[in-house]
Amino acid sequence: MSPDPEHPAVLSARGIHHSFASARVLDGVDLAVRRGEVVGLVGPNGSGKTTLLRVLTAALRPASGEVLLHGRPVRSFSGRERARRLAVVVQENGGELPMTVADVVLLGRAPHRGLRHRPGRDREIARRALEQVGALALARRDMATLSGGERQRVLIARALTQQPEMLLLDEPTNHLDVGYQHEVLHIVRQLGLATIVVLHDLNLAARYCDRVAVLHDGRLLAEGTPAEALRAPQLQEVYGVGAEERRADDGTAQFLFHHRSTT
């Protein structure tokens, strides 16, 4: 993605390389996300998506390359500062202690708490976040009683209470039914935050992302609008399947996949 002085990147990665032992996981990845832009990160299992997400949030130090937040190295921020600017929604196993939805969402205020902590303001920010994702009615519910889609909305609300500049989501539609998949990504789309979302479903990426980055064997194989980055011939090679591109009634590219015979 070429620099745009009128719309500078909120977060940018330059020349990211990383390996685990002798296995190369990321190989010279460049990526940038601007304000209000939703970027989908796609690719086969083992292509480096989650590792890249960890590098972008400074949870993992790359072997080489740098990640910049508003032009400043992300690792130069303290952990508290990063948590105020970057909100991460990862896959969770549901094994947390019994807590109400309201209590879980209020955890997002932790990076802002200090000597002048104002509980009333925290509660109002949490209320607005729940309202923003359509989950205010769930506030008194126990997290253990929620469906998968309700749970994802609550986790996004918790991220929003951090009042971040950037949102990063690792497979937020995993294990959700079709209705909740679209609901969750529609919510993400409406937030107006610079966003990176790791997705497996290419049709969801084509519908909800402004740009898509395709990782394959640790390299950024394609990057651009969904129409530019998601091309049937290339997807066939990346995923090892047959791929046919179709158009939905609204013009969005959608794909049909099938086993590709080797005979």
> For the chain, what are the domain ranges?
9-258
Q: Which residues are CB-neighbours of 104 under 8 A, at least 6 positions away? A: 96, 143, 154, 155, 158
Q: What is the DSSP letter of 109?
A: G
* Cβ-based neighbours of 143, under 8 Å, separated by 6 or more: 94, 96, 98, 99, 100, 101, 104, 151, 154
Which CATH class name applies to 9-258?
alpha beta
**CA distances (Å), origin 78, targets 46, 96, 169:** 30, 26, 21
The whole-model pTM stands at: 0.91
Residue 174 to residues 10, 53, 241, 252, Cα–Cα distance (Å): 26, 16, 21, 22
Q: Please determine, for residue 115, whether its predicted confidence score (pLDDT) is greater than 80.
A: no
Please, which pLDDT band fits residue 227 given cuts at 50, 70 and 90?
very high
97-106, pLDDT tens digit by residue?
689 999 999 9
Q: Would the pLDDT of 120 be above 80?
A: yes
* pLDDT at residue number 116: 65
- CB-neighbour burial class of residue 237 (10 A; exposed 0-12, middle 13-18, buried 19+): exposed
58 touches 82 (CB < 8 A): yes
